[in-house]
Structure formats: C-alpha cells, structure tokens
Structure 1
Amino acid sequence: MKRALSKKNIWENLPRPLKTVAGHALGVLPVPRILGKQFRNNLKFLEEAQWWSRQQFQAYQLQQVQQICALAFDKSAFYRDHFSSAGLKPSDIKNLSDVERLPTINRDTINDHLDRMLTVSTKAAHVDYITTGGTGGVPLRFYIGAGRSHIEYPYLVTGWQRIGYQLGMPMAVIRGRVVSPDSHGLPHEYDPLLRHHYYSNFHMTEENMGRYLDHIRTLGSCYLHIYPSSASNLARYMLRHSIKPLHNIKGILAESENVYPEQRQMVEEIFGCRYFSSYGHTEKLVAAAECEKSTNYHVWPTYGYFELLTPDGAPVTTPGESGEIVGTGFINQVVPFIRYRTGDYATFIGNKCEQCGREMPIIADIRGHNIQEHLVASDGSFITWSAVNVHDDTFDHVRQFQFYQDSQGEAVLKIVPASAFREENIRAMQTNLGKKFAGRLRFDIKVVETIALSKMGKAIFVDQRIPQKK
C-alpha cells in the first residue's frame, strides 16, 4: 500500500524504542510547536473563523468551491466530462447554488473512475492511498495528500477546546490502533509528542478494563478519546463493579460511530463528565462538532461545502426534516470529491445555534454507516467493528465483505471477490486481521457470490447471531 514519506507517517511507523528516545528529546517542546507552523496557523484561523457571520462563511465557501472545481476541471479527465455533460464550466459558478447543477456522485463513481479522477500522479511523493469500508459493503479506494493532518487535526482540537481540552493535556485513547503490551503486560503505548496514552480496543476484557481505569487514574487531568460503543462497554464495567467516577477525566470525546441519547446519558452519569461528539469521515468532506451548550452538531463551513438532500435531490431547508449528507471537500486535491453522497443521514435544525451563537449549519441525529456492530471474543468481551475496520489494502481485491458469528470467539469472514482476487489476498486478510484479533477470535474465510444488505440498503459488516446478555 502506498504511503507518502510524511512526518506523520514516519513517526507512526517508528519502532517503539526509537519513538521513546525521540519523544523524550522532542517532548520538552510545546505540542503546538512540535506540530508545526502550518498546524498553528490553521488552529488560529479556526479559533477565529468559528465566530464568522453566515455571509463570511458563504464568501469563503464560494472561493473554495470555485478553486476545487477549477482544479478538477483542469487536471481530471473525469471531471471535464462531468462538467461538460452538465453544461457547466467552473467559470459559470458565481454562487454556491451554481455547483448544485452538477449531478451528485457516490462511491461507485469513485471506484469505477478513480484513475480518471486523479489530478496528479499516484507516484507523487505527497500522495497517500486510502481504503475504507463504509456504506453498501463495497470498499472505497482513493488517494489523498499526505499533509491532510495539518489541516484536519486543528478542526478536532478546536472542537475539543469547547469543553476545556488544551493541547498538551494527557489524552487516554481507546480506538482502532493496534497496541502491543508494555513491560507490565498492559496493552498500552505512550506517544510522548502528543501526550497520548493508547490502550487496546481489541482487548477490552474484564481484567484489562480494570487495568485501563487504574492506569488512567495516574495521568492527572485528562480527556478520554474513544468509540461510543467502547465508552458504553467501559461504563457498564464501572457499573458492574461499583466503580466511582474518575474525577481526573474531564470529558469524553466520543467519535466514529453513531451516538444514541440513552448511551450518552448512561456514560455521562457513570463518568460524571461531559460526553462530546464530533462527526467526520475518511473522505474529508464534512466535519461537525457539538458546542459548549448543545449536543447538536455544528457543521464547519470552512472544511467543505455541506448539503442535506431529500431522496429526489432537493435541499432540506425545513427544521425537523431529514436528508442525506452530501459534501464537496476542500482538503483532498488529489482526488476531488464534488457533491459526493456520503450515505450518512441527519436532521436539519437550522443555520445558527441559538445556545452558543455560531452561525453554522446545525444538524442532529446523525445516522451513518459506522453502526456499532461488534464481534464477541473468546473471553466474552466485545471487539467493535469500528476498531476492526481497516484503512489499508487488506480488502483491495474484494467487492464486499461481512463477518458472520454464532459462536463466541469464532467467526466466518464472507467475501465477494473482485476480478483481480488471488489466493495471496486470503493470506493477507488472515495476517492483517489476525494482528488485530491477537488470538482472541479465530476466523475462517469463505468466498461467496453475494452478501445481502439491510432493508435500508446498507452494509451489515457483522451479522451477529449470538444473543445479547442484559
């Protein structure tokens, strides 16, 4: 899989001993300085821009839409044909509504026309290759610039700051990273640059959850960055064992899965702190976050051009009505996504938050393809789909895939092969997924012709048949 030699990619792939030595040397510097001038400039921009008027946001968006459309038209054969078939040229875009004359695209568009959508060579030094699961059970593959983190991470930080987080504060992270045991046998790794403590989401056993909490108690004031389903698992563990709130955890940053009201209420009651959620996706089209006073999502107009559409393509403008999230991204200039249907849905609230005053599109009840499906490990603990989901080339030669489980600790991975599928692809799946499961779940691979979707036409990544325990 192609990965650019960016600072982020190099750092993340350093062996732990080298990372420890380098981290101690660099760790004396403030985190914003370590992250670089571009990060600092973007963070400052967003801290100010979040308070812009709606007119300021629209002027900025128009400029960005014109720029990405001109780039796509000039450099991409697909978009030249796409614009021409709509009778449109980038110079015709004088208002934001003009871009809506272009037909929407979806993941099939990207997968079928990827080579013709590129604006640069895939061999360029700054280009990363990305693949993700997502809607419809068909892996999405595309390319993106390696420097995206300097743009995207400031959006996350600016959102987290709304509930008190500051760069340099310790963060306990229980998400999708594969974490090796430390010298004490605890699945834990420390990033001395960001002050992040990573705990394995793949080893959420009764014993380890207790050890995670014991270790987090030692971090001082910190925030917990976690999948919503994992936050619920940890909260239920605390409830079972009558564990009081960890008062050094100042907030829960729950992302990458659907958030449900009853789940939020339970976690906040047990942890005794704010549960804060953000929305985003690998395609880098739409980003949104809650605010200090509301659990509704505030969509960032500076991140991409956001639309909410009915099934027949009409814009949703009435508060309380729902539609599909459609985005035109400003970050990815390697493969532009213009009017891309995400497969995620939300309810429109308005164009201003009455609680905080930000004049952003406000949405609620986001329901996406990252539903909280899980596998059951041999010890009875859960392995969430969000943690299993891969962003490498594991499923490159597969059209669809799904785990089926009816026995604890065992599963069947069903795959619908693509034309270039080979026997070595099965071995790669066994190796890559095996590293994540780490012996806690055995799985066989079964080649099938089709995999059924849900009634809503969405992928069911885990067909779970083990009865849930109360």
Structure 2
Amino acid sequence: MIFGPRYASRFRGYWKTDSESRLLAVVESALRDVPFYAQRYKGIRITSAADFKAAFSTIDKDVVLGDYEAFTSTAIDRSRYDECTTGGTSGKPLRLLLPRDRYVHEYAALHRMWSKVGYRFSPRAVVRNERIVGRDFIINPILREYVFDGFRSSEEYLERIYEVMKHRNIGFYHGYTSNAHEFARFLLRRGLDHSFLKAFITTSENFYPHQKAVFDALPGVKHMNFYGHSEKLVLAEYCSASGLYHFHQQYGFCELLDEFDRDVVSIGEVGEIVGSTLYNVGMPLLRYRTGDYARYAGVGQCAHCGHQGMSATEILGRWAGDRVYNADGSYVTTTALNLHSDLYARIAGLQYVQSQPGELLVRVIPGSGYDSSVAERLRAVVAAKMASATSVSVEEVRELEKSANGKFLLSISRRDKVAS
C-alpha cells in the first residue's frame, strides 16, 4: 500500500530475478547513452556476463570523479534522479545520480532479506548516523521507524531507547553494528526483560567475534548483519548458521577480484568487492571497485539457508586502511591481529590507535572476567605479531572513538597529524 505495485512485484519475485538479463540491459543502455562507455567500447557487442567481464575494465571512485558527466546518461530525464554523495570516509566524496524510484529495488531487496529474521514491515528502532536535537527520538511514519540519536551512548540514553522500544513493542533494532552491540551489552548488564525484542539488524561496519558473542548471549533474539554501500551495487547478508556472508546477485552483479582484475578462486583468498548495477541506467557504475574486501569462501548452495551463489567468510571493509606500522615501515593488518576466542570473551570492545610507527595503543572496554592478567596477555599476543622493537600498550576505556558519521573505527591512525 505504501510503496505501490512495482515494489510488491519486485518483492514477490526477488529470489527469481534473472540477474544476467538485467545486467545486459543496463550494459546495452550504457553503450548507447553513456559517453564514458560509448566512447571506450564503441562497436563492442555484449551478449553474456562472460562477454561483459572480458571486455569491460574495472573502474574506481577516482575514475568517476575525474569526469562525472561522462558517466551520466544523455537519454534520461534528470528530474527523475537525485544527486547524492557517498560518505567520503576514505577521501573525497563521490557524487552519484540515483533514480528517485530506487526504493522499488532497494526496499524489496532489504525487506526480503530481513524477513529471514521475522521482519514483516514491522516498526524498527533505527540507531545510525542521525543527530536528534531537543528530543529523544523522531518518528518516520512512512518507513515505520523510530529514529534515535546515533551519537548518544550514555547509560541514561540507552535506558530511554529501551523504555520506548518496550512500551511501544518495537521488536527490531536496526543500526550500526557497534551501536547495536552496545545496546545488547546494556540489556545483558542490566538483566532486562527483552522478550519483546525479535532481532538486531546491523550494517555499515565490520562485524567482529566479540560482538557476535554478545548477540549470541541474548536468548530468543535473532541477529542479521548485512553489507551494503552508498553506490548501491552490492548486497550481502551474514548467515549465522554457516558463518558466511552470502552475496545477492539479484541485487547487483558482484565479483571478487585480485589486484590484476582476475577472479579470486582459492578458498581463503582475499579479493576486492567489485560491483555492477542492475537498475541505475542514469549513472551506471559497471565493474566498480568498491575499496572493500572479502575473504572468498566459494560458490555453491548453502546447506543451512539454501542460498545459491558466491559467499565469503568475512568482509574486511576498507582493507588498505586497517594497518598498523612498525618503525621500519613494515606493517601488520588488523585482521592478522585477531585474538584468541577466550580473549574476545573477556572484552566488550577493542580499538587500535597509532600515533607513530613503532608505537601501538590498544583500547579495551573490559568485559566479564577482564583483569590485569587478561590485559597483559592481550598485550603480549598483539606484541608477538608486531616487530620486536614495536611498543604495545593497553588502555581501559568506557567507550571507543567513532568517525564523524558515527561509525565505529577498529583502527585509528594519527600518523599524518603527527607528521604535519
């Protein structure tokens, strides 16, 4: 009733989408009407996804930033499109043209995915990147959202979120993974009744083992973590039964490529997530390198949920930025700094901060069973993975630093500020 018959049709037929046909239709339109593709691939005929991958080179944000108009279709009515920007957390924001009716594709996909944890266009508490001034929350009646301030994390404000959710029987908490993790910890710490809560739906940040342990500790509450991005090319969901991320080819054409644009085919190998739109003919991004990475788990059918397609064991976010450096210029990725499961069980939050190469501060929010011996063991485990000359220290904190848009940061580098 709210989104109309096109949404309803897309919702019902989502899992049966012929992704290749949709991709080829967008490619045909791009070769005809979009200057960048029309000039670069003039005379090329694409009849399959294999043809597309063989003929088209990958692009990235810098390529699109270099000539915004060249990526814009000459055949569209611009009044039917919104000009949007990405968050710009990894540099200059990217300008995008997105169709105003994108909700038909976007919400049909999300609602079908969320239905796996019981969502039926139910009221949601949304805690992401909104700042709420002069009140505790606002209501979006069209999307049935109770929007809370994603930048307030005091005990009093968490209690207010809880009171509103319980009083109004709001069964779904949708937010950044770190915000949801903090709220789940609050419920456990207080021993509060959470029988009204059906599921946490989390997104936009890397998902870590210590966070999963907290969500798993709430009996009867499901959890779905999913990956998406502002360019709206790729969608993946975390399957709690298999421990894998499943990519939705019905949403966007997704590839996992190495630095030479070759398909990643070895289980456990890390590749960059590359996406192509299936519906945005106004500004089609095709074989677009997202800057996010994933660890390949193969292609096939999930024995637990039935998903058919490509999966990953983990999504690594801005892989290139999650590095900590030794004094000699060598580095270790934060993924390589993974802790043992028993250490994760004793901490409620973790963050790496580096002011200069050769020095690393590990911020920790203490969890159940955390003491000085756990702190020293954690320090020793991290130090053992760095060069012997690197100094590693551990600091207990009540909360972890976030970016300007409210997202959790596993790794914070202040090296550039020190150098300047």
Q: Aligning the two structures, in what range does the TM-score lie when normalised by the shorter sequence?
A: 0.7 to 0.9
Alpha-carbon shift at residue 271 of structure 1 (Å):
6.8
Map 1:318-329; keep pairs closer than 5 Å: 318-329=266-277
* 2:309 is equivalent to residue 341 of structure 1: no
1:253 alignment partner in structure 2:
201
- Contact 1:346 1:366 (C-alpha < 8 Å) held by counterparts: yes
Distance 1:253 1:340 in 2: 26
With structure 1 as the length reference, what TM-score do the two structures score? 0.66
- Contact 1:292 1:356 (C-alpha < 8 Å) held by counterparts: no
Unaligned 5+ segments in structure 2 are 323-349, 354-397
Alpha-carbon shift at residue 179 of structure 1 (Å):
2.8
Aligned length in residues:
341
Q: 279, 292, 303: which one pairs with 1:331?
A: 279
Alpha-carbon shift at residue 135 of structure 1 (Å):
6.5
SS at match of 1:66: helix
- Contact 2:150 2:406 (C-alpha < 8 Å) held by counterparts: no
Map 1:14-93; keep pairs closer than 5 Å: 33-46=1-14, 48-49=15-16, 60-84=18-42, 89=44, 91=45, 93=46
2:174 alignment partner in structure 1:
225
Distance 1:65 1:193 in 2: 31
1:13 alignment partner in structure 2:
none
1:303 alignment partner in structure 2:
251
Alpha-carbon shift at residue 234 of structure 1 (Å):
2.1
Distance 2:47 2:254 in 1: 17
2:83 alignment partner in structure 1:
129
Map 1:165-314; keep pairs closer than 5 Å: 165-167=119-121, 169-182=122-135, 187-220=136-169, 222-240=171-189, 242-270=190-218, 273-291=221-239, 293-314=241-262
Alpha-carbon shift at residue 123 of structure 1 (Å):
7.2
Flag the structure with higher helix content.
1
Instruction: Give the 3 Å change call, closer, same or farther, for CA 226–265 of structure 1 in structure 2.
Output: same
Alpha-carbon shift at residue 292 of structure 1 (Å):
7.0
Alpha-carbon shift at residue 386 of structure 1 (Å):
7.2
- Matched to 1:177, the amino acid is E
2:403 alignment partner in structure 1:
385
How high is the sequence identity, in percent, across the aligned residues? 28
- Contact 1:256 1:386 (C-alpha < 8 Å) held by counterparts: no
- Matched to 2:247, the amino acid is V
1:392 alignment partner in structure 2:
none
- Matched to 1:243, the amino acid is G
- Matched to 2:35, the amino acid is A
- Contact 2:227 2:235 (C-alpha < 8 Å) held by counterparts: yes
Distance 2:89 2:163 in 1: 37
Distance 1:250 1:257 in 2: 21
1:95 alignment partner in structure 2:
48
Distance 1:323 1:236 in 2: 33
- Contact 2:174 2:180 (C-alpha < 8 Å) held by counterparts: no
Distance 1:303 1:290 in 2: 15
- Matched to 1:114, the amino acid is Y
Alpha-carbon shift at residue 329 of structure 1 (Å):
0.9
Q: 84, 93, 97: which one pairs with 1:139?
A: 93
SS at match of 1:176: coil
- Contact 2:224 2:240 (C-alpha < 8 Å) held by counterparts: no
Instruction: Give the 3 Å change call, closer, same or farther, for CA 386–332 of structure 1 in structure 2.
Output: farther
Q: 158, 163, 178: which one pairs with 2:117?
A: 163
Per-residue CA deviation, residues 47-78 of structure 1 (Å, 9 max, x unaligned), is x42xxxxxxx7xx2332222111111111111
Distance 2:40 2:238 in 1: 35
Alpha-carbon shift at residue 34 of structure 1 (Å):
1.5
Per-residue CA deviation, residues 65-116 of structure 1 (Å, 9 max, x unaligned), is 22111111111111122214xxx61x2x233121122110000011001111
Alpha-carbon shift at residue 120 of structure 1 (Å):
3.9
- Matched to 1:42, the amino acid is R
- Matched to 1:127, the amino acid is Y
With structure 2 as the length reference, what TM-score do the two structures score? 0.73
* 2:59 is equivalent to residue 105 of structure 1: yes
Distance 2:220 2:204 in 1: 22
1:366 alignment partner in structure 2:
315
Per-residue CA deviation, residues 406-460 of structure 1 (Å, 9 max, x unaligned), is xxxxxxxxxxxxxxxxxxxxxxxxxxxxxxxxxxxxxxxxxxxxx95xxxxxxxx
Alpha-carbon shift at residue 235 of structure 1 (Å):
3.0
2:364 alignment partner in structure 1:
none
Instruction: Give the 3 Å change call, closer, same or farther, for CA 161–294 of structure 1 in structure 2.
Output: farther
CA RMSD across the alignment: 3.1
- Contact 2:26 2:279 (C-alpha < 8 Å) held by counterparts: no
- Matched to 1:98, the amino acid is D
- Contact 2:272 2:290 (C-alpha < 8 Å) held by counterparts: yes
Instruction: Give the 3 Å change call, closer, same or farther, for CA 134–264 of structure 1 in structure 2.
Output: farther
Instruction: Between the two structures, name the one with larger relative contact order (CA 8 Å, sep ≥ 6).
Output: 1
Per-residue CA deviation, residues 257-308 of structure 1 (Å, 9 max, x unaligned), is 1111221111331475222111111111111113473342221112221111
SS at match of 2:78: coil
Instruction: Give the 3 Å change call, closer, same or farther, for CA 188–381 of structure 1 in structure 2.
Output: farther
Instruction: Give the 3 Å change call, closer, same or farther, for CA 37–177 of structure 1 in structure 2.
Output: farther
Unaligned 5+ segments in structure 1 are 1-32, 50-56, 390-402, 406-450, 453-462, 465-470
1:421 alignment partner in structure 2:
none
- Contact 1:329 1:337 (C-alpha < 8 Å) held by counterparts: yes
Alpha-carbon shift at residue 246 of structure 1 (Å):
1.3
Instruction: Give the 3 Å change call, closer, same or farther, for CA 271–235 of structure 1 in structure 2.
Output: farther
Instruction: Give the 3 Å change call, closer, same or farther, for CA 206–40 of structure 1 in structure 2.
Output: same
Alpha-carbon shift at residue 245 of structure 1 (Å):
4.8
